[in-house]
Amino acid sequence: MDSILVTGNGALSGQIPIAGAKNACLTLMPATLLSEEPLTLTNAPRLSDIKTMTALLQSLGAEVSTLQDGQVIAMSSHDLTSHTADYEIVRKMRASNLVLGPLLARFGQAVVSLPGGCAIGARPMDLHTEGLEALGAEIELKDGYLHASAPRGLTGAVHEMRFASVGATENIVMAATLAKGTTVLKNAAREPEIVDLVECLRKMGAQISGEGTSTIEIQGVDRLHGATHQVVTDRIELGTYMLAPAICGGEVELLGGRLSLVGAFVEKLDAAGIDVEETAKGLKVRRRNGRVQAVDVTTEPFPGFPTDLQAQMMALLCTAEGTSVLEEKIFENRFMHAPELTRMGARIDVQGGTATVTGVDRLKGAPVMATDLRASVSLILAGLAAEGETVVSRVYHLDRGYEHVVQKLEGVGAKIERIKS
Ligand code: EPZ
């Protein structure tokens, strides 16, 4: 297993290009199952999660090929050979469950393994199944697999979700595009990745309105046609790299960044003493003079502070002036980066879903272990500003969501290298 060596090397300066959104691409790819015509995605990120989704779609019989060094994904699911998403793939990546809605809508059947828990939580699928059953699906759990069928097709319905689940919103919206009649989905998630999915479905002929609000309305159609769609910029990669100059000092421009993608996050950066300026090419980030100031953070569904930036923000607050309280309201176990940051000299007290961080002057480099995708990059960020060397092990977590991390950070002056094992 590879590791990454980071050495604190002072202020950063230069530009970092931001890739297409992993969490948009992972729902856009299963959308190919809704049509027998080809769907092509551009600006796709080069990540191991995308390779996993590719393997899953191919296991169903879809044709998936990548061009231009992985930035273009050409897909076609004219003839499928299977409707089963195998446990071996789903357990590695929960987003595999996003084939459930499309398979049900187009073929009237799907067998999808429950993902099982992961490092950050139990990750159940009850919100997905409740929504699909509201559309007339019959779903039974057997041997760890959801066996779903809609022998008479799906029928539009009014359905209110108990929680604004991102994945459940995506599965239900995709299924509803081919249902008979109208679906009104209430308490829908509002993430930009859902807006991006709807824009792609609309290009395929879907009749949808309300994306980005809590109520999405879908008029079912008989069939969808092919399309070409550019994947939206990755707001979590964007937010992650905005923290690099915040933690190290200096000024970095994030190419492709837009304020609309990171509103609540930028508000917190401003309160912490970080300036963010929108330019023609992206977002310019610099730390105001002096130390970062402590701020309190509570994670919420979009447009609130993203849970996927909580670990990275904690790394910044470890060296802030004062005490910060971080509340993780989305997942039940998303503070595994805390004990690793503590090894670097951070002062963090975790009580259930609340972490209290008392800032220290400077962290000290140490060997640390990545436990999940966002925790891994939080440790990289901490290492950028720490005194001495930090070795982050198990970086396969990092490869799931961040392409070319070493090159992107080296490009702005970081001292960082990948150690092959
Ligand atoms: C998506 O996961 C993202 N993944 C996650 O990003 C992100 O953290 C999450 O949304 C929240 O923003 C992808 O888009 C591929 P949820 P998802 O359904 O859809 C509970 C990353 O780092 N829940 O909104 O699985 C669930 O347990 C990943 O890129 C149910 O109880 O998130 C969690 O506590 C991590 N029942 C909360 O809701 C359900 O049926 C939010 O889950 C579904 C979810």
Decide which of 3.40.50.300, 3.30.1010.10, 3.65.10.10, 3.30.465.10 is the CATH code for 3-18+233-419.
3.65.10.10
Domain 22-230 belongs to what topology? UDP-n-acetylglucosamine1-carboxyvinyl-transferase; Chain (3.65.10)
Where in the chain are all domains bearing CATH 3.65.10.10? 3-18+233-419, 22-230
- Exposed, middle or buried: residue 27 (CB in 10 Å: 0-12, 13-18, 19+)? buried
Strands (E), 20-155: 39-42, 63-67, 72-76, 84-85, 109-113, 138-142, 145-149
pTM of the predicted model over 0.75: yes
Give pLDDT, residue 421: 86
Closest CA to 140 of 173, 179, 168, 109: 109
Quick one: tokens of 200? 């792609």
Give pLDDT, residue 91: 86
Q: Which atom of ligand 1 is nearest to the CA of 307?
A: 8
Is the Cβ–Cβ distance between 1 and 395 less than 8 Å? yes
364 is in an annotated binding site: no
Q: Which atom of ligand 1 is nearest to the CA of 193?
A: 14
Give pLDDT, residue 119: 73
CA of 119 to the centre of ligand 1 (A): 13
CA of 76 to the centre of ligand 1 (A): 27
Give pLDDT, residue 409: 98
Give me the tens of pLDDT residue by residue for the chain, a chain 421 residues long: 899 999 999 999 999 999 999 999 999 999 999 999 999 999 999 999 999 999 999 999 999 999 999 999 999 999 899 999 988 888 889 999 999 999 999 999 999 998 876 777 777 899 999 999 999 999 999 999 999 999 889 999 999 999 999 999 999 999 999 999 999 999 999 999 999 999 999 999 999 999 999 999 999 999 999 999 999 999 999 999 999 999 999 999 999 999 999 999 999 999 999 999 999 999 999 999 889 999 999 999 999 999 999 999 999 999 999 999 999 999 998 999 999 999 999 999 999 999 999 999 999 999 999 999 999 999 999 999 999 999 999 999 999 999 999 999 999 999 999 999 8
Residue identified by tokens 């910060």 is 324
Give pLDDT, residue 118: 73
Residues framing ligand 1 (Cβ under 6 A): 22-23, 26, 94-95, 121-128, 163, 165-168, 307-308, 330-331, 373-374, 401
Give pLDDT, residue 158: 98
